[in-house]
Chains A and B, each alone.
Chain A
Amino acid sequence: MSPHAILTAFLTIVIREVRRFTRIWPQTMLPPAVTMTLYFIIFGNLIGSRIGQMGGFDYMAFIVPGLIMMSVITSSYANVVSSFFSMKFQRSIEELLVSPVPNGVILAGYVAGGMARGLSIGVIVTLVSQVFTDFQIHSLALVAVTVVLTSALFSLGGFINAMLATKFDDISIVPTFVLTPLTYLGGVFYSIDLLPEFWQGVSMANPILYMINAFRYGFLGVSDVNVYAALGMILVFIVVLSVACLRMLARGKGIRH
């Protein structure tokens, strides 16, 4: 395929993905906005006013970056895992497999689709948070880089989950039993300084902690971890997961006989 044809194929996948999640917006875009509004009201306003300060900031300002990042992570992952698995389930993945689209373009298209949803939700949650608090931005570039890379990483994670899944249960296990606990324990609602030393060490093994802290640093200029180490770690994960996805696509894992 010529570079122009490859670009067309890539955009076709992305447009189809965007069309899919906007077509079912009550399932994909509304719930995060409602959930995050409740978080802001309950944890930020009602409970947060009694907590006082966290990391030197109002509790509401402290949790905003974490909640935005949590929405981005969940939405990016959910978009790719549900879309790609549905294609496997309905066998419409065959439309792509019989076409000359290179595996790298298939992967890039789905990841871009996941990022489109994740970042859209990030923007919506950010706008909702504006109703409750005025937050500062320490480094817009760092905010942008962190959220884009994190969204890409979890889109890749969703892709692997979809490739390995054989039934609908398999696509909810990871989000429920891995992603949600790691996100809640990744410092969305608290600074790990509050934890005993042992649990601080355990928390350092949670990759989502680094992403949330790097993102929070972009807003507030405070972080529990080294921001550049966090970005480097995200990049390494992206490379590793991309290679794994491409290998699975080449072998036709779960999609070819």
Chain B
Amino acid sequence: MTDALLISGLTKSYGDGFEALKGIDLKVPQGDFFALLGPNGAGKSTTLGIVCSLVNKTAGKVEVFGHDIDRELARAKMNLGVVPQEFNFNQFEKVFDIVTTQAGYYGIPLKKARESAEKYLRKLGLWSKRDSPARMLSGGMKRRLMIARALVHEPRLLILDEPTAGVDIELRRSMWTFLEEMNRQGTTIILTTHYLEEAEALCRNIAIIDHGRILRNTSKRELLQQLHVETFVLDTEKAMDSAPALNGYHTRLDGEGALEVDVEKGNGLNEVFAQLDRQGIRVLSMRTKANRLEELFVRMVEENAEGQGLKEVNQ
């Protein structure tokens, strides 16, 4: 099966000699929910900008559903929907006009464009705002407007560059649900995000990019297996002044008084509960701390930074 996105040897150099991308290889299978993670300036937006034709590449090859952007750019674009990081619509246009106009750019006749615009504005909770100028929308609504606009031509590959930046938790969760539903219906999704729990919650495959190079491109599962320690959060019946000492485990209280226990891979949880039971501590509920990917990400980026530093010293 053709990959939704295939990138090989992609480089981007600017006039001042700065190399934003130093030979990126990336493969995103059809139907995937893929995260491209990296610190600021790592090359995420440049990579996606090249795929979307907003940035001219220096060298390399990009294919969208088998369509090379050098030879079949229009076909590649027909398969792409893009939600950029920053608001990029005309603030004075009406919400409905912005979405139908975008459909028109893809050659969709007006009647069908209106139907499709209504479908996605309703799905994203913006139908009641259809006659409002875009500048009157809240930040969260503007983000949803950009998603509706990106979907109006029903692309097979949806690219989202930090779609939930500055969005409150409730809205972020509803956007996750919406994106998961789109993915279940067959849309391949690539997102960049600074919220690593977002990538952990949504994505199946993850690439980590830094200083214009891909550090890792693998499944989330495989990535998380590299963590030797997992943190569990336990809500106890009685509030504690200090964390109880558990033989063989690190413990601490989090900001809200819940007990955090670091458990090394291979060690079961039975011993944790047995020790707590012996100390008369009853556990009401338990969850994993959702920052596992963050730990790994920080570690990888730090290792890469050390490597970069070493290289500079050696040069």
Contacts and interface: CB of A to CB of B under 8 A. Distances in A.
A, B: real partners: yes
Interface of A: 1-2, 4-6, 8-9, 11-13, 15-16, 19, 23, 86-87, 90-92, 94-102, 252, 256-257
Given A6-B107, A87-B90, 14 more contacts: A8-B108, A11-B104, A16-B101, A90-B90, A95-B88, A98-B52, A98-B53, A98-B77, A99-B77, A100-B74, A100-B78, A100-B105, A101-B105, A256-B55
A2 B88 contact: no
A6 B74 CA distance: 11
B149 interface: yes
B49 interface: yes
25 contacts: A1-B74, A4-B107, A5-B107, A8-B108, A9-B106, A12-B105, A16-B97, A19-B97, A90-B88, A90-B89, A90-B90, A90-B91, A91-B88, A92-B90, A95-B102, A98-B52, A98-B53, A99-B102, A100-B74, A100-B78, A100-B106, A101-B105, A257-B46, A257-B54, A257-B55
B9 interface: no
Main SS of chain A's interface residues? helix
A15 B105 CA distance: 12
A4 B49 CA distance: 28
The 4 closest A-B pairs by CB, nearest first: A5-B107, A12-B104, A99-B105, A100-B74
Contacts of B101: 12, 16, 95
A167 to B, nearest CB: 19
A98 B80 contact: yes
B82 interface: yes
Contacts of A11: 104
Contact of A8 (B88, B97, B104): B104
A97 B73 CA distance: 11
A87 B88 CA distance: 9
A8 B109 contact: yes
A94 B92 CA distance: 16
Contact of B88 (A23, A92, A100, A102): A92
Interface in B107-130: 107-110
- The residue among B82, B88, B149 with the most chain A CB atoms within 10 A of its own CB is B88
Interface string B127-143: 00000000000000000
Contacts of B104: 8-9, 11-13, 15
Given A1-B107, A8-B108, A9-B107, A97 B89 contact: no
Contact of A94 (B56, B73, B88, B109): B88
A2 B97 contact: no
B142 to A, nearest CB: 12
Given A90-B90, A102-B74, A256 B54 contact: yes
A87 B101 CA distance: 14
A1 to B, nearest CB: 5
Given A5-B107, A9-B104, A9-B105, A252 B56 contact: yes
B84 interface: yes
Contacts of A91: 84, 86-88
- The residue among A90, A98, A252 with the most chain B CB atoms within 10 A of its own CB is A98
Interface string B69-84: 0000111011010101
Nearest to B45: A257
Nearest to B92: A23
Given A256-B55, A257-B56, A95 B106 contact: no
